[in-house]
Structure 1
Amino acid sequence: MIWDIILKELKKEIPLIDYNRYIKNLRFDEKNSQSDVKVLITDNIYIANWIKRNYTNKIASLFENETEIKPTIKINVQKNYENTKNTKTNYDIKIIQNNQKQSIINPSYTFETFVVGESNKFAFNVSEKVAQNQGKLYNPLFISGDTGLGKTHLLNAIGNYNIGKKNIILITCEEFLNDFTSHQLNKTFDKFRAKYRNCDYLLIDDIQFLVGKTRTQEEFFYTFNELKENNKQIVLTSDKQIKDLEIVERLKSRFQNGVTAQIQPPELETKIAIIKKKCELDLIQLDDEIINYIATNVNNNIRIIEGILMTINSYASIMNQEITLDFVKNSIKSYKNTNTEKINLEEIINITAKSLNIKTADIKNKKRTKDILLAKKIVIYLGRTLIRNSMTELANFLDFKDHSSISKAMKKIQEEIENNNEIRIKIEEIENKIKDSKK
Structure 2
Amino acid sequence: MDTEAKIILDDTISFCKRDGRDARLINMLAQSAPVELTEESLTIEAPSRFAYSYLMKQREVIERYLEDIAFCPLSLIVTVDQGLTGRVEAEQSTYVSRETTTQDAGGSAPAEPLRKTPIPAVIIPSKHDDEDDKGKVKVRNTITLDDFQKLTGLMQREEAGSAQAEESSREEGRSKPQAVGIHSKFTFENFVYGDENKHAYMSAVRFAALADEPGSCTSLFIYGKSGLGKTHLLLAITNYLNEHSPHLRVKYANSQTYVEDYITELSVQKHKAGVILRDYHDADVLIIDDIQNIIGKSQSIENFFTLMDEFIRNNKKVAIASDRAPKNLGMDERLTSRFNAGMLCLVSEPGFEMKYMILKRYYENTILHGSDALAGTEAGSLLTSLNVGGGKLTDAQLKHMADVSGTNIRELESFCERCAGVSYEREQAGSELTGEDIDRIANEYFDTAHKKIHIDTVQAVVEKYFHVSHEDLIGPRRPANIALARHVAVYLAMDMCEMTAVAVGEEFGGRDHSTVLNSIKVIEKKAKEDRNLCEDLQQLRNKIRLSS
After TM superposition, the score normalised by the length of structure 2 is 0.47
Q: Does 1:330 align with 2:445?
A: no
Query: How far apart in 2 are the matches of 1:328 and 1:209?
Result: 36
Q: Deviations over 1:47-90 (max 9, x none)?
A: 5559xxxxxxxxxxxxxxxxxxxxxxxxx999xxx999837664
The letter for the 2-side match of 1:312 is C
Q: Does 1:209 align with 2:293?
A: yes
Query: How far apart in 2 are the matches of 1:77 and 1:338?
Result: 36
Q: 1:200 to 1:362 in 2, by over 3 A?
A: same
Count how many residue pairs are aligned between Structure 1 and Structure 2.
307
Q: 1:344 to 1:47 in 2, by over 3 A?
A: closer
Gaps of 5+ in 1: 1-41, 51-75, 95-103, 353-358, 366-371, 385-393, 401-430
Report the alpha carbon displacement of residue 346 of structure 1 after superposing the two structures with TM.
5.4
Q: 1:191 to 1:327 in 2, by over 3 A?
A: farther
Q: Deviations over 1:220-252 (max 9, x none)?
A: 122223333444311011111111112343443
Query: How far apart in 2 are the matches of 1:112 and 1:228?
Result: 29
Query: How far apart in 2 are the matches of 1:382 and 1:175?
Result: 43
Query: How far apart in 2 are the matches of 1:361 and 1:105?
Result: 55
Q: 1:246 to 1:105 in 2, by over 3 A?
A: farther
What fraction of aligned residue pairs are identical, expressed as a percent?
A: 24
* Alpha carbons 2:287, 2:318 under 8 Å: kept: yes
What SS is found at the alignment partner of 1:217? Answer: helix
The letter for the 2-side match of 1:303 is R
Residue matched to 1:155: 234
What SS is found at the alignment partner of 1:86? Answer: helix
Residue matched to 2:197: 120
Residue matched to 1:276: 360
The letter for the 2-side match of 1:122 is H
The letter for the 1-side match of 2:325 is Q
Residue matched to 1:436: 545
Q: Does 1:187 align with 2:269?
A: yes
Q: 1:265 to 1:313 in 2, by over 3 A?
A: same
Report the alpha carbon displacement of residue 176 of structure 1 after superposing the two structures with TM.
0.9
Query: How far apart in 2 are the matches of 1:194 and 1:229?
Result: 17
* Alpha carbons 1:217, 1:248 under 8 Å: kept: no
Residue matched to 1:37: none
Q: Deviations over 1:170-218 (max 9, x none)?
A: 2211221122122223337847432101122211111111233234121
Q: 1:294 aligns with which of 397, 401, 418?
A: 401
Q: 1:158 to 1:438 in 2, by over 3 A?
A: farther
* Alpha carbons 1:337, 1:435 under 8 Å: kept: no
Q: 1:237 to 1:398 in 2, by over 3 A?
A: closer
Q: 1:45 aligns with which of 24, 37, 45?
A: 37
The letter for the 2-side match of 1:198 is D
Q: 1:399 to 1:248 in 2, by over 3 A?
A: closer
Query: How far apart in 1 are the matches of 2:497 and 2:335?
Result: 46
Gaps of 5+ in 2: 1-33, 43-76, 80-167, 369-391, 464-469, 477-486, 511-539
Q: 1:272 to 1:185 in 2, by over 3 A?
A: same
Query: How far apart in 1 are the matches of 2:173 and 2:263?
Result: 25
What is the correspondence of 1:33-432 to structure 2 with a 5 Å cutoff?
Answer: 44-47=36-39, 86=172, 90-93=176-179, 107-134=184-211, 136-164=215-243, 165=246, 166-187=248-269, 190=274, 192-284=276-368, 285-314=392-421, 323-334=433-444, 335-337=446-448, 345=456, 347-348=458-459
The letter for the 1-side match of 2:37 is I
Query: How far apart in 1 are the matches of 2:425 and 2:269?
Result: 52
The letter for the 2-side match of 1:147 is S
Q: Deviations over 1:318-370 (max 9, x none)?
A: 89676444432222212251596997715248779xxxxxx9968668xxxxx
Report the alpha carbon displacement of residue 131 of structure 1 after superposing the two structures with TM.
0.3
What SS is found at the alignment partner of 1:187? Answer: helix
CA RMSD, 1 decimal: 4.6
Q: Deviations over 1:288-326 (max 9, x none)?
A: 112111211112111111221233345666896764444
Q: 1:106 to 1:151 in 2, by over 3 A?
A: farther
Query: How far apart in 1 are the matches of 2:509 and 2:340?
Result: 48
Q: Deviations over 1:358-407 (max 9, x none)?
A: x9968668xxxxxx9xx8xx89x9699xxxxxxxxx9x97768xxxxxxx
Report the alpha carbon displacement of residue 160 of structure 1 after superposing the two structures with TM.
1.3
Query: How far apart in 2 are the matches of 1:438 and 1:217?
Result: 37
* Alpha carbons 1:202, 1:234 under 8 Å: kept: yes
Query: How far apart in 1 are the matches of 2:35 and 2:171?
Result: 14
Q: 1:275 to 1:338 in 2, by over 3 A?
A: closer
Report the alpha carbon displacement of residue 254 of structure 1 after superposing the two structures with TM.
4.1
* Alpha carbons 1:149, 1:263 under 8 Å: kept: yes
What SS is found at the alignment partner of 2:345? Answer: strand
The letter for the 1-side match of 2:179 is I
* Alpha carbons 1:142, 1:235 under 8 Å: kept: yes
Query: How far apart in 2 are the matches of 1:193 and 1:349?
Result: 52
Q: 1:215 to 1:150 in 2, by over 3 A?
A: same
Query: How far apart in 1 are the matches of 2:338 and 2:347?
Result: 21
Report the alpha carbon displacement of residue 121 of structure 1 after superposing the two structures with TM.
1.5
* Alpha carbons 2:223, 2:325 under 8 Å: kept: yes
Query: How far apart in 1 are the matches of 2:263 and 2:435?
Result: 50
